[in-house]
Amino acid sequence: MAAFAFPRFRRVFLASVIFSLGNWGERLATGWVVLNETESVFLAAASFAVRQAPQLIFAPIGGAISDRFSRGKIMLATGVYKAIVLAGLALVALNGLEPLWLLFVILAFSGVGHSFEIPSVQGMVTGSVPRNIRMNAVAVQSTGMRAVGALGALAAGFAISLMGVPATFLASGIAFALGGFLALLANRGLKAKVAGTTTSIVRDILDGLRLMKTLPIVRMILITAVMVEIFGFAYGAVMPAVAKEVLNVDEKGLGTLTMMAGFGSMFGTLFLMLLGNFQRKGLLLMAIAIAYGVFLATFSAFGSYAIALVLIMGVGASAAAFDAMQWTLLQLNVPDEMRGRAVGAWVFAIGFGWIGHLGLGAVGELVGVQWALAAAGLVVIATGLIAMAVSPSLRRI
């Protein structure tokens, strides 16, 4: 818990976990209401895809802006923006998702906000502590974000049952606005570092994209991120279908299932905290990817809710640890003044995850979500093994 010795980190930590409440509530409410109203696994998965696709355009912009301007002000603007977007989602949900196309348009706007949120948060986290404990800071922040998010997912499930989807969307929007205000206070007095104040914002964006080509370690991390995002993290898009069609539980059951994934996420990042400044970070990243694939392929295979509650914790732990290790490696292998752009490049890379959402939804609709998840898990395992075999630089760091 070394990062908590720094007051600025404590303030950034609080802001980020409040933002996490909004994100978990939005995702759970969206997936459930689309599946419930349309009875289509594909459309439920598509609702996740359309939220992620805008990152391919806006993530490099968000990364460049987070290196140039106050990250606290960016977070405040993003929080208010997301609150407005969530109010729009509440209105559409109140109208029974009529028209459906409008819901998807609003979700795309939500994805735009996400492209500015992640680079700013990660830049604030690593900028609030010395370089030698950045891995600890990322792990601590991720642990808190996911632990609070786990409780938020459970609360969202019960909120949907008791108050309805529109009220859940509005509550999530309030969390975003509050998180943005707290981020502004946390970042007060801290200026962003910019490499060359005479460069244009367009040049900054292009520099961020060049990171993917010029640095071998960054390139391999981002290639791995694309593959694991497409085939691994897409599982969230079919979680409502797993809950309803495989495990035969309602929205409260989905909330509990998501909560257990969140608790697993907390344990995964706690594991990284206990490792401290682990030396073989590249090998650790690949080992986590392989474990992720194993848990993903098996958590719903038995059709038992009790077994799924246990194994989904492994999925959550692996997913959280994989993300945290990627963020750590990126932050440690790029110049300090380009940290925001490095994370922006990562958000751009995971923007391809919409392909996995649509693919998993389509395959799940055709042959069942259990078979779709099994195939996705095998691809994630193969990704970890191949990356370990072909990248000497990743094995050395």
Averaged pLDDT for residues 203-219: 65
CA distance 140 to 14: 11
Other CB atoms within a 10 A radius of the CB of residue 212 amount to: 18
Mean pLDDT over each residue of the chain, to the nearest integer: 81
Question: Per mean pLDDT, which range of 97-111, 203-217, 265-279, 340-354 is the poorest?
Answer: 203-217
CA distance 58 to 134: 26
* pLDDT exceeds 70 at position 126: yes
Secondary structure tally for the chain: helices H, strands E: 17, 0
Task: Choose the most confident range, by mean pLDDT, from 39-43, 153-157, 347-351.
Answer: 39-43
Closest by CA position to 122, among listed 54, 79, 75: 75
Q: Which DSSP letter does residue 193 get?
A: P
Greatest distance between any 2 Cα atoms in the chain: 60
Domain count, the chain: 1
* pLDDT exceeds 70 at position 124: yes
* pLDDT exceeds 80 at position 339: no
User: What is residue 249's predicted lDDT score, i.e. its pLDDT?
Assistant: 87
In the block, which residue shows the tokens 């194994």? 311
139 or 384, higher pLDDT: 384
Residues 6+ apart with CB under 8 A from 63: 119, 205, 208, 340, 341, 342, 343, 344, 345, 347, 348
CA distance 186 to 12: 5
Averaged pLDDT for residues 314-335: 80
User: What is residue 90's predicted lDDT score, i.e. its pLDDT?
Assistant: 93
Percentage of the chain exceeding pLDDT 70: 86
CA distance 2 to 195: 29
Closest by CA position to 83, among listed 18, 14, 149: 18
Q: Are 151 and 259 in contact (CB under 8 A)?
A: yes
Averaged pLDDT for residues 5-17: 83
CA distance 308 to 254: 11
Domain coverage including residue 247: 2-396
CA distance 324 to 135: 8
Other CB atoms within a 10 A radius of the CB of residue 388 amount to: 18
For the stretch 270-311, pLDDT in tens is 787 777 666 677 788 888 999 999 999 998 888 889 999 999
* pLDDT exceeds 50 at position 195: no
Distance in angstroms between the alpha carbons of the first and the last residue of the chain: 23
* CATH number reported for the structural domain that contains residue 50 in this entry: 1.20.1250.20
186 or 334, higher pLDDT: 186
Averaged pLDDT for residues 343-351: 73
Q: pTM here?
A: 0.70
CA distance 251 to 233: 21
Averaged pLDDT for residues 172-197: 74
Amino acid at 284: L
Q: Are 238 and 371 in contact (CB under 8 A)?
A: no
